[in-house]
Structures are given as structure tokens and as C-alpha cells.
Structure 1
Amino acid sequence: MQLFRNMTFVVPLIAALGGAAVSAQETSAPKGINLELNAADLVGESCRVTFVITNKSEVAVDKAIYETVLFSDDGQVLMLTLFDFGALPSKVPRVRQFQVADTSCSRIGMVLINGANRCTVAGKDAPVCGQNLRTSSRLSIKLQG
């Protein structure tokens, strides 16, 4: 009986400590921009790339434009371009699509976010678009930043 009495105290204690660990993890995660390459579809003779982008910072971004480099599987630069992700509200995911003209998706091996070309918050240049940029890909095409 003594064992069960102690268990009624230990189980809630372990649950509370586990919850505290999760809360500490969530609050310690860096705040920045999360950019995921989500899809790449051939449309005619162009590759349409789809990104899911989430601004995890505390401020809304008015405009985010990233210098982007597309590489072939063997590392050759296919194209350097600008992707305009537009406005990024705080903590709200957005989906953005871009057409890469005259390029088959199968030719693209990696997409490199070379840096923020423009990032404005409240009408002024801001560093938030380049700070703590985290990239991921759901595809065989790599995304790096």
C-alpha cells in the first residue's frame, strides 16, 4: 500500500516536470524565419517551386526578398535570381510559389538562399530576414541558407 501512496505523488510530479521541460524548450527556440521547400512541379517547360515560410519573430515583415541560387545535381549554377516572398506576418505561415522559366525540376539539385536582398519592417530596413534563417526541404532538392 505504501508503494501506491507514493505513486500518487510521483506521477503528477513527473508530468509537471515534463511539461516544464517542453515549455522551456519552446521558449528557448530561436526566433527567426523558417523556410521550407515544400514542392516542385513541372508546369509546361518551367519548374514551379513552392515554399512554406513562417516568420517566428515578434515583428511583422513588410517585405522579404531573398537572393536565390539554383544549382544542378553536379553543383553547377543554373541561375541566380530574386524571390520576393512579400509580407510575412508574425507567427503565421505563408505559401509562396515561383516559376523558374525554361528549367525542368529534375535539373535542380539544390536551392541556396544566398541572403536577404531586402527586408523591411515598419517601412525601414531590418535584419530579421537574415537572422536565424532556418531552411528545410521535403524534396530530394536540398535547400540551404
Structure 2
Amino acid sequence: MVALSVPLYRRRIGRIALDTAVCLALSALLVVSALAQDAAAEKTPLKLQLNKLETAGEACRVTLVVDNAKGTGLKSYKVDLFAFDPEGVAQKRVAVELGPLPPRKTTVKIFDFPGIACAKVGRVLLNDVLACDGGEAAREACLDRTETESKAGPAFDR
């Protein structure tokens, strides 16, 4: 009975205010959810596996498995790599474009360390990520989320 004593226009204004508040709350919840998903994508590891080394003339041919199975796609992902000899002395440096990397996909990339025999490679170092384009993350964030491992003889570190 109390509701009937309130004029109709005031009841409608109250209902509009309530609907507006509910819409704003749902919008805020969607924004927070989207930000959480972006943050999770930035923290999802991008795994680089030194899979195989083989001699190719005067070069050491590297097979690298790039596991982006849980991450977002990248148009460009360029890394700076160093090959060290078994005594730990830096021998060769190479910048390799590994992109484009499709989302939720594992790919294989092949490149050469020119002028060095595979037997002279004792370790490979991921020195830096030079480019990381296409995701929401900055280049530094791509370096932070990159993990390395080796199935070939030499270690692969970052």
C-alpha cells in the first residue's frame, strides 16, 4: 500500500536509477574481467626449446620449437642469441625473427649460426628480446614471460 501512495513518476525514476546502477555494476565487472584476462595472457609463458643442432656446411643449423600454446598471437618476436664455446667464451651472435606466432600454437623455426661448427657450441644464451609486436605486452614483458629449455646437447639459458 505504501507504494501506491508514491506518485507514478517517482516510482519510474527510482526504477530507472536502479536499472542504471545495475548496468554500471555489470559494465565494471566486464572491464575487470577483461583486464584480468589480459594480465593472465601477459604472464602466460612463451617457451623456446633448443631442439636440435646439426652441421650445415660452415654453419651450425638450429631447430627451435616455439610453444605459444597458451598465449596471444604476435606479429613479430625477434630474439638476440649468443653461442658460447664449451669453455664459456662467446663465439657468435645472431638476431632471429621467430614471428609471426599464431595464438595457441606451437611452431618450429630453423636458422643458422654462421661460421661455427655445432661441436664448438657449448651453450646458447637468449640475450634479449629485440621485438615483441602484436600483443598487449611491451618488449620487456615478453622477455619476462619467455622460458628456455634444451633437448639438444648444449644448455639454453636466458
> How far, CA to CA, are the matches of 1:98 and 1:129 in structure 2?
21
RMSD between superposed Cα atoms in Å:
2.2
Q: Deviations over 1:56-85 (max 9, x none)?
A: 454211100001111000000001220110
* 2:97 corresponding residue in structure 1: 84
State the partner residue of 1:38. 51
* Contact 1:110–1:143 under 8 Å retained in 2: yes
The one-letter code matched in structure 1 to 2:103 is: S
Within-5 A mapping of 1:103-118: 103-118=116-131
SS at match of 1:103: coil
Amino acid paired to 1:135: T
Which one has the bigger strand percentage? 1
Figure out how many residues of one structure are paired with residues of the other and give that number: 117
CA displacement at 1:127 relative to structure 2: 4.5
Matches within 5 A, 1:1-145: 31-121=44-134, 126-145=139-158
Q: Distance in 2 between the 1:58 and 1:108 partners? A: 30
Percentage identity across aligned positions?
Answer: 23
TM, length-normalised to structure 1: 0.73
- Tell me the SS of whatever aligns to 2:98: strand
One-letter amino acid of the structure 2 residue matched with residue 109 of structure 1: G
In 2, Cα distance between equivalents of 1:79 and 1:102: 8
Q: SS of the residue aligned with 1:86?
A: coil
Instruction: Give the number of the structure whose alpha-carbon radius of gyration is greater.
Output: 2
Q: Quote how far apart the aligned CAs of 1:31 are.
A: 1.0
- Give the Å deviation of 1:86: 1.6
Which ranges in structure 1 are unaligned for 5 or more consecutive residues?
1-26
The Cα shift of 1:129 comes to 2.5
